[in-house]
Structure 1
Amino acid sequence: MPGSRRSQRQRAVSELRAQGRYGPELRDVLPGFVALGLAVLAPVLLLVWLYRALGVGGPVLGVVLVAAAATAGLRLRRTVVRRRGGHYTAAELARLDDQGLAVAAARMLRRDGWRVIDLSKQEGRPRLYARDRRGRELDVAFRPVATADEGASGPAPLREAGRPGVDRLTRVVVHLGSFSHQDVLWASRQGGVHLLDRRQLQRWADGATLDDLGLSG
């Protein structure tokens, strides 16, 4: 009977939806269709308006403007995708603040296969914990960006990040500037403490792994 067929179909659809195999519903795809429609309609309306305002030369100007906007949008998208993938230029690194540097480091760790937990809220300052498939663990702290041009006198977290203990953590301190000879000497005496300065950070952002930099323990 029609009624039984309908109920059977409804049960089949419900089962497929529960298994995630039925596919998207209209409400799932509607925002995408609306956005696509606006993306197509907006340039057309712009060309019509320019034609009415400027005559034959209006559409030509409109095409140039649309092409320029599309090119700029494509470049911006590529930049965003690249950063999210854990790759930064030297200029981009130089513009980062403390939290931005932590975000960049987290992305680079994930790029290299580390599972990252952001401890910044609990610590009250940028701090990351990371673990890889081999069970290696990292405690990543950051010397404040504001001290990047101050040489050796910038405040820790050197000593807190490098505090020796019985755990298996490899401690890494990231700095946009350069560490002093005293910093390097002190870290070498602690065991399990590595300093990542501007030069190494740039290599990391270019695609080198922490293993390449000799920092992962």
Structure 2
Amino acid sequence: MAPAFVVLGFALVVLLSGLVWLYGRLSWPGLLLGLVLLAGLAVPLVRRRRAVLRRRRGYYRWGELQHRDEQGLAEAAARMLRRDGWRVRYEPWEGTPRLLCRDESGRRLDVTFRPGNGTDDGTTSAPAPLRAAGPAGLGDEIRLVVSTGAFSRGDVLWSSRQGGVHLLDGHQLQQWADGTSLGVLLGD
């Protein structure tokens, strides 16, 4: 923590020295020019910091999700799950990311990821609701497959034959990233 304060103190001394130098050279217009330059530098930094904080809280824009690989998508989904009240544990399976989750009521969630299938705009022709597939899985565990693209008819048929499998396509992923709770998408 002390090195951060040293760097911050050094930065403040440099900035104040620059403003004093400008004031000495150009008087009030120099001081005004220095303050305008500082404001011009501060605005992009504040915007970037807000975006970082928004993502840490589990809110994403579609452009931030659509080009992520499976690992990046898993990290984003873990933050969104924590935002929705789930305890998340990262457990890779056969080299792919996998999240095992539990909420306060004891429900379990197994989340896997699938790369998008070329749909880059986050929309599908007719976004279907999140699909509950058959009876509940083993021990009432909910299995969720997340993709930035759309699922094919074969994927939907496969999931309907499984127990407790839900498919989350790009459209629903965008809704979830915007702040809609996963419970709402699951129909809880």
TM-score (norm 2): 0.80
Does the Cα contact within 8 Å between 2:19 and 2:31 map onto a contact in 1?
yes
Q: Which has the larger radius of gyration?
A: 1
Instruction: Tell me the percent identity.
Output: 53
Give the aligned partner of residue 184 of structure 2: 212
8 Å CA contact 2:137–2:143 kept in 1: the answer is no
Counterpart of 2:169?
197
How far 1:188 sits from its partner (Å)? 1.2
SS of the residue corresponding to residue 110 of structure 2 reads strand
Q: Which residue of 1 aligns with 2:110?
A: 139
> Residues of 1 paired with 2:44 and 2:119: CA distance?
33
Letter in 2 for 1:125: T
Preserved contact between residue 194 and residue 215 of structure 1 (Cα < 8 Å) = no
Partner of 1:45: 17
**Partners of 2:88 and 2:99 within 8 A in 1:** yes
Higher helix share: 1
Aligned to 1:94: 66
1:81 CA displacement: 0.6
Deviation at 1:208, TM superposition (A): 0.9
Tell whether the 8 Å contact from 2:137 to 2:165 is kept in structure 1 after alignment. no
RMSD: 2.4
Asked if the contact 1:88/1:206 (under 8 Å) is kept, the reply is yes
Letter in 1 for 2:109: L
**Which SS does the other structure have where 1:134 is aligned?**
coil
Aligned residue number for residue 155 of structure 1: none
Whole-Å separation in 1 of the counterparts to 2:62 and 2:18: 38
The one-letter code matched in structure 1 to 2:176 is W
> Would you say the 8 A contact 2:115–2:149 is kept in 1?
no
Give the equivalent residue in structure 2 for 1:115: 87
Aligned counterpart, 1:83: 55
Distance of 1:165 and 1:205 partners within structure 2: 26
How far apart in 1 are the matches of 2:36 and 2:162? 61
Contact 1:172/1:215 (8 A) holds in 2:
no
Q: Greater relative contact order (Cα 8 A, min sep 6): structure 1 or 2?
A: 2
Distance 1:58 1:197, change over 3 A: same
- Consecutive unaligned residues of structure 1, counting only runs of 5 or more, are 1-27, 151-163
TM-score (norm 1): 0.70
Taking a change above 3 Å as real, the CA distance of residues 74 and 107 of structure 1, as seen in their structure-2 partners, is same
Q: How far off its partner does 1:32 sit? A: 4.6
- Counterpart Cα distance in 2 of 1:215 and 1:126: 25
How far apart are 1:144 and its partner, in Å?
Answer: 2.0
Q: Is 1:105 equivalent to 2:97 in the alignment?
A: no
